Amino acid sequence: MEEASTRLDRVLGGKTATALTKAFGYTSVNDLLRHYPRRYVARGELTDMNTLVDGEAVTLLAEVVSVTSRPMRQRRGTLVEVIVSDGTERISLTFFNQRWREAIFRPGRRGLFAGEVTSYRGKRQLTHPTFELFADDVDEDEERIAMFAGAFIPVYPATVALSSMQIARAIGVILDTLPALPDPIPEHLRADLELMDLRTALLAVHRPESQTEIDQARARLRFEEAFLLQVILAQRRAELAQLPARARVNRDGPLLREFDAQMPFTLTAGQQLVGDQIADDLAGVHPMHRLLQGEVGSGKTLVALRAMLSVVDSGGQAALLAPTEVLAAQHFASITSLLGPIAQGGMLGGHDSGTQVALVTGSMKAAQRRKDLLKIISGDAGIVIGTHALLTDAVQFRDLGLVVVDEQHRFGVEQRAALAAKAADDTRPHVLVMTATPIPRTVAMTVFGDLDISLLEGLPAGRAGVTTHVVAASERPAFVERTWERVREEVEAGHQAFVVCARIGQDDEEEPAEADSKVAGVLETAAYLQSGPLAGLRIAILHGRMPPEDKAAAMFAFARADAKEAIDVLVSTTVVEVGVDVPNATVMVVLDADRFGISQLHQLRGRVGRGRYPGLCLLITDSPQGSPARERLDAVASTTDGFELSRLDLMQRREGDVLGASQAGRRSSLKLLQVVSDVDVIVEARNCATRLVAADPELTAYPALQEALCELVAEDQAEFMEKA
């Protein structure tokens, strides 16, 4: 083997390489070297079998207790059963028609056994496991245990088809001929931080001699993961800081001044602070790239609207990109309502210096679409709101000065760049991205490290807040009945309610099922409520398969509580998760709540209690007390602190979900780094990366680092970095 980029089949052969590619997607030597052990077994220590779970692929270090063979009852042939133990618990190894194996399993002999844990008639077993038996004197069995050189036996993440032992053999072949490797961490940094070099760390993590060696190797490799990501982000920040932009702020422009004067409420201290930060950015000659982060209901849209008006006052246009048509339509309705005559520029009764607001979605009728596209390209529409349809070539701006992206996690970096590229000249528009999903500091540094971050703290005055309860349907059926009674009571008091389901459900032509079926759907739930516990109330449905005009009509009727055709109860999928603002809604009922994540439930809860009336969120579930799903729901009910819930959510998910394809455009590179808990590592890596890039932006003095970054950054990411 000459280098880490060598193809696996050249080192291991086609069969093994194909198996590794199929199991894990690995194609190069470097891929396999980065497949780190999930744990280690000290030689001579047996596996604790109390921890085994059905369906898990395991590697056990155990001792043979007995071996028997007998004819099978239902078919011809012989069954060999080997009982192995950790000294307390036992598990069966079952082999069909392999009686010759009986002779090799002597009681007292130890070995490694790998397979999938299953249960048969109450007994745990591994069927046809792969295994590696040690000689009675392990120290003399060098040939058998060569692949486990060192004092610790590594146990790798494995599959049923590819055991930890097979992976260990493949890695062992590579380690036996491992050359000196170019190290992406510069030598002076390794010295300052007292880190192992790369080759030493890889040998130590796969063939450790001591626990200290394991700890040092993992610390070095963990830092490397953080460092490479932070170098990418530092380069991106440096490049963005050099791009040209036009100053787009007018702190005393006629539109912003008129809007502030007619605003029926006072800005919170948090809104004023964040608004000043954004105004300072907009006044610069390099593009703003800022993340506006705030709890549900904290008033982010108002802050963004004031920034958009400032840009329009400066002669430019602003675009708001929303993830769904429902949310785009909601933004359009609420913004035009807030602006009043300001949004009627050039129209009868409009403000003298007013502008117009255009809406662009994929389902608009052709005539209306042409009308709005003309407003945009002429500049008559200073504020443009839309979905992904804004990214199409048909949408052309006269002078795009600000891009606002709502719910950043719904859009990939390519989409953000595509809209920013619509500026009319060589300058770039300012970019403000918003999220109501609270993000812990280290996650923000890792995921949004190319952005300046503003935290909008505090809620507008008059918000009554939300109380959340878990309704255990299977344990207390009467509580479900009480749920619908509470909904009726709130409606009779003049308020409205959401009912959210995990799926749309059956087609309209089919007979509606009972709402307590295995997973409630919108269609059957609405039918059940209409004919049952909520009979007589005005109930409507909302889901993604509805025609756009029907969706808009349902949302409009629900938002207009005072209208004749107003809706009392909206039965919906999660299309109402973000941004939908109905101050009169006071109840959120989530059916099959265990099917939603923590952050999603927090978002749904944020749809109620947005006015002066207190909100109530009821999470209905069949999950038993003590189950992970129930603990998740109890956590949501116990606090309204979005940052604490976000931390719990991320602890339950892989980091690959945090750095998912929508953000990074690739499979996560994080193997050891925990972005929630490794605060010190990420901060140190960010500081080192910032200093390094400031001194050498192109990293010309660090070819090994350049090579590692090229491998890490997928092609579509590289394109984004050029476009950004």
In this predicted structure, the answer to whether residue 329 has a pLDDT above a threshold of 60 is yes
The number of residues in the chain equals: 724
Q: Is the dihedral of CA 721, 225, 183, 450 positive or negative?
A: positive
pLDDT > 80? residue 714: no
Q: What is the DSSP string of 622-659?
A: -PPTTSHHHHHHHHHHH---HHHHHHHHHHTS-HHHHT
Q: State the Cα angle at 566 between 564 and 570, rounded to 5°.
A: 165
pLDDT at residue 156 greater than cutoff 80: yes
Say how far apart CA 207 and CA 12 lie, in whole Å. 19
Q: Does domain 466-639 have CATH number 3.30.470.10?
A: no
- For residue range 17-28, list pLDDT tens digits in order: 999 998 888 988
Q: Give the pLDDT score at 583.
A: 83
Instruction: Report CA 636 to chain centroid distance, whole Å.
Output: 18
CATH number for the domain formed by residue range(s) 254-456: 3.40.50.300
Segments in 25-133 forming alpha helices (H)? 29-33
Instruction: Tell me the per-residue pLDDT of 495-513, one tens digit each, with 9 for 90 and over.
Output: 999 999 999 986 544 434 4
Can you read off the two tokens belonging to residue 13?
């052969």
Two structure tokens written together for 135: 């000689």
Reported as a single tens digit per residue, the pLDDT across 286-297 is 999 888 888 777
Q: Which of 159-173, 425-439, 465-479, 553-567 has the highest mean pLDDT?
A: 465-479
Tokens of 550: 């029907």
Cβ-contact 235, 724 below 8 angstroms: no
Query: CA 558, CA 562: separation in Å to the nearest integer?
Result: 10
Q: Are 686 and 223 in contact (CB under 8 A)?
A: no
The β-bridge relationship of strands 130-133 and 110-120 is: antiparallel
- pLDDT score recorded for residue 103: 81
Are the C-beta atoms of 571 and 526 separated by less than 8 Å? yes
The mean pLDDT value for 250-267 works out to 86
Task: Name the pairing type of β-strands 496-500 and 569-572.
Answer: parallel
The 3 state secondary structure assigned to 673-703 is CCCCCCHHHHHHHHHHHHHHHHHCCCCCCCH
Query: Same CATH topology for 46-154 and 254-456?
Result: no
Domain spans in the chain, listed from the N-terminal domain onward? 46-154, 254-456, 466-639
Q: Are strands 381-386 and 317-321 parallel, antiparallel or unpaired?
A: parallel
Neighbouring C-alpha atoms within 13 Å toward the C-beta of 231: 26
How far apart, in whole angstroms, are the C-alpha atoms of residue 53 and residue 252? 65
Task: Write down the residue that tokens 């220590």 correspond to.
Answer: 45
Q: Is the pLDDT of residue 667 over 50?
A: no
Cβ–Cβ < 8 Å for 492, 569: no
Give the pLDDT confidence score for residue 281 in this predicted structure: 94
Mean pLDDT of 37-60: 78
**Per-residue pLDDT at 692 exceeds 50:** yes
Q: Could you tell me the pLDDT band of residue 45, with boundaries at 50, 70 and 90?
A: low
Residue 712, H or E segment: helix 703-712
Query: What DSSP assignment string belongs to 421-433?
Result: TT-SSSS--EEEE
Average pLDDT, the chain: 83
Residue 453 bridge partners (DSSP): 291
Angle among Cα 392, 416, 555 to the nearest 5 degrees reads 70
Q: What is the pLDDT of residues 83-97, one digit of tens each?
A: 999 888 899 999 888
For residue 138, pLDDT beyond 50? no
CA torsion sign for 310, 313, 318, 324 is: positive
Predicted local distance difference test score (pLDDT) of residue 411: 55
DSSP secondary structure letter of residue 49: G
The β-bridge relationship of strands 90-96 and 110-120 is unpaired
Residue corresponding to tokens 């708001």: 320
Helix (H, G, I), strand (E, B) or coil at 401: strand
Q: Is residue 149 predicted with pLDDT exceeding 50? A: no
> Residue 212, exposed/middle/buried by CB under 10 A (0-12, 13-18, 19+)?
exposed
Evaluate if residue 301 carries a pLDDT over 50. Answer: yes
Sign of the C-alpha dihedral computed for residues 7, 13, 14 and 17 taken in this order: negative
Residues 6+ apart with CB under 8 A from 266: 461
For the stretch 411-444, pLDDT in tens is 555 666 677 777 767 788 999 988 877 677 667 7
What fold does the segment set 46-154 form as a domain?
A: OB fold (Dihydrolipoamide Acetyltransferase, E2P) (2.40.50)
Question: What does the buried/exposed string (b/e) look like for 344-375 if buried means 16 or more CB atoms within 10 Å of the residue's CB?
Answer: bbeeeebbeebbbbbbbbeebeeeebeebbeb
